[in-house]
Amino acid sequence: MREPLRVGIAGLGTVGASVARLMARNADGLAMRAGRPMALTAVCARDRGRDRGVDLSRAAWHADPLALARDPNVDCVVELIGGEEGPARALVEAALGAGKHVVTANKALLARHGMALARLAEERGVALAFEASAAGGVPVVKALREALSGNRVARVSGILNGTCNYILTRMEAEGLSFAECLADAQRLGYAEADPTFDVEGFDTAHKLAILTSLAFGVALDPDAIYVEGISKITPLDLRMAAELGYRIKLLGVAERTPTGIEQRVHPTMVPRTSSLAQVMGVTNAVTIDADAVGELSLIGPGAGGDATASAVIADICDVAADVVRPTFGIPADRLAAPERAPMQRHEGGYYIRLSVFDRPGSAAGIATRMAQADISLESIIQHRARTADADPSGRSGAPVPVVLITYATTEAAIREALARIDADGHVAEPPQVIRIERE
């Protein structure tokens, strides 16, 4: 059998420690699969003393990631430091520059610098592998890059952030507020102390940028992504969704449209009977629509030390087996510049929840503004809260929630109508807008 692939891991947190453990435990099996053993020869971490459940005594310890990149006893650098700049970026650039393979779980780094890093890797003829970066343990990178080679992808969409899906699942099941569920998620370790990155959709956007490039053969274009998070979703929206036959999920969606490739991340109403609606808690799910295969869905754990390590090890095993493919499926200099489909041209159904002053003419005024923007309404729902100080007509003058469901229209039309409704003084607070995916 051949000489071992010498692996260096930078970052021994939950994922890094799990990679080291799984490599040690499965050493024989991995060697049989790859036709070559793998040896952990170097690590880079701050705390040398901590017990990580695996014998690291034979690995060289580096305090500086760049020393790991330069270590002549390392063929393949596993970057698990995180962050789009700083030591992670410096490490990956140095390792690729030194002709070493790189395996990473770092979606932020890839979304921001993936094109330059892919060019560097391809120049040096080494692998830049990142299965763990898109949907944790779910092998969607391999599916898009290899399994669907013969397909033209029309759409890729999914639940890509376990924190958000956990929060929405609990809000719906227990009628709790966003803040309450976020606090629970933080207590359970599903959300960071600063949750902005997850709950405002940026993590999903990074993952979507990667999937878009793989799916459509285009250069990464994270700045083209429309991003909206879940922090403004209320229990009332979840109740209304249920009443209307929907569930609310934070989706990342990339699709070919007549005007170009549309990339968007936002809370979405999906039919309760759809497969995405069944995805609960921290699970991730990706659905790919492609011309030959039709619809393919992959569902599994999007985070967690062992699940993420599973994807990292698959990449290491590919490297050991000398599988070096173009980073994003086709060579970086052949990736087309994507034509951006502007969000204003997005077409679809909309859920609009307005806080309407309960007085004569409000409903008519709103309906008129929608009609002027050529928006057809599928339904209007108003549960009037009768209060003690209501006048004999039942009207209190206080704001009441009114929910409109539209037929397919455009983002531009919705924005125009809502601006006019606001200017007319019918509503007490900014409208809630949630896009609907009906298929």
Write out the residues near a second copy by the rule CB under 8 A. 18, 22-23, 26, 29-30, 32-35, 131, 137-139, 142-143, 145-152, 217, 273, 275, 278, 290-301, 304, 306-307, 309-314, 317-318, 321, 323, 325-326, 329-331, 334
355: burial class by Cβ within 10 Å (0-12, 13-18, 19+)?
middle
* Burial track 56-77 (b if 16+ CB lie within 10 A, e otherwise): beebbebeebbbbbebeebbbb
Query: Which residue's CB is nearer to a second copy, number 229 or number 329?
Result: 329
Give which of 352, 328, 377, 330 is closest to 434, Cα–Cα: 352
Task: Please state whether beta strands 347-357 and 409-410 pair in parallel, antiparallel, or not at all (unpaired).
Answer: antiparallel
Q: How far is the CB of 257 from a second copy (least distance, A)?
A: 20
Q: How far is the CB of 139 from a second copy (least distance, A)?
A: 3
Query: Which residue's CB is nearer to a second copy, number 43 or number 230?
Result: 43
Query: Which residue's CB is nearer to a second copy, number 329 or number 401?
Result: 329
Q: How far is the CB of 172 from a second copy (least distance, A)?
A: 15
Query: Which residue's CB is nearer to a second copy, number 151 or number 382?
Result: 151
Q: How far is the CB of 289 from a second copy (least distance, A)?
A: 11
Query: Which residue's CB is nearer to a second copy, number 43 or number 312?
Result: 312
Residue 207 annotated to the active site? yes
Query: Which among 100, 107, 142, 207 is annotated as catalytic?
Result: 207
Q: Provide the β-strand partners of residue 60.
A: 42
Task: Please state whether beta strands 377-382 and 399-406 pair in parallel, antiparallel, or not at all (unpaired).
Answer: antiparallel
Q: How far is the CB of 134 from a second copy (least distance, A)?
A: 12
Residue 381: CA count within 13 A, CB half-sphere: 15
Query: Which residue's CB is nearer to a second copy, number 69 or number 218?
Result: 218
**Contact 230/199 with Cβ under 8 angstroms?**
yes
Residue 392 Rama label (left phi>0; alpha psi -120 to 50; beta): alpha
Q: How far is the CB of 142 from a second copy (least distance, A)?
A: 5
Catalytic center residues = 207
